[in-house]
Amino acid sequence: MSGAAPIRIAVAGALGRMGRVVAETVRGRDGMTLAALFDRPGTEGQALDGGRLVTADAALGACDVAIDFSLAGASAALALTASERGGPALVIGSTGFTPQEEVDILRAAQSIAIVKSGNFSLGVNMLLGLVEQAARALAASDYDIEVFEAHHRRKIDAPSGTALMLGAAAARGRDVELDAAAERARDGVTGPRAPGAIGFSVMRGGGIVGEHSVVFAAEDEILTLSHSARDRSLFARGAVAAAAWAAGQPAGLYDMSDVLGFTAN
């Protein structure tokens, strides 16, 4: 036995679908303990999976890392609160942040370690690298890029965080800014496609966990790189792995490329 104390994990948004899966994943992982569950204000004391919800303040004081798959605004506020306390570290899987919320998280990361990602899947993070390489190799004059994503009817932001990550990877490959190249909506007589545009197509319906494809379309061929998520436990396992990694890191804003060791030195 190593004698090392288990990493104490708190789960934010514990009443949500992802929160429940994350909590169950933490329970099943060696070297970790589920220290606290919490959700929006007013839910304290509610029974949940053999325990009771606590306040955010109590949860942050009881853990080494908090994992948050709630809402963008709540995640940004939690980051600032944790930063003011000097901890704990955070793993953030929420998406749809406003520019100000992004600034708030970046500011919080000056005091605590934050791993923030639009997708915690190993496969998706491998896909990001492939998309960047393909975009670098396939000339914009010959190949149009379209990012397609589909999610369940309850998802409130679009394009998804993962779709935006894939678009950003394509933009890096072409050495352009995504904001300058992105084409997010088409309606009516739009005219021909702009050269070099990175398009986004979105579907919402049913219980789709997550489907993402990046299409490189030329006049004479189509290349499609894609990923399909079959179960939310995929993302929970990645987030829990990120929490284990974040527990030993200095303050800073990280993503899954850091956790997986993909970041170039």
Considering only CA atoms, which of 134, 208, 142, 195 is closest in space to residue 166?
Answer: 134
Phi then psi dihedrals of residue 131, to 5 deg: -65, -45
For residue 114, the cross-strand partners are 90, 253
Q: Rounded to whole angstroms, how far apart are CA atoms 250 and 227?
A: 32
151 is an active site residue: yes
Alpha-carbon distances of 123 from 55, 162, 202, 260, rounded to whole Å: 35, 12, 20, 11
Q: Strand order of the sheet with strand 32-37?
A: 32-37, 7-12, 65-68, 89-92, 113-116, 252-254
Catalytic residue, from 116, 151, 212, 227: name it. 151
How far is Cα 260 from Cα 251, in angstroms, rounded to an integer? 18
Strand partners, 222: 217
Given 116, 152, 155, 212, which residue is catalytic? 155
212 is catalytic: no
Known catalytic residues? Answer: 151, 155
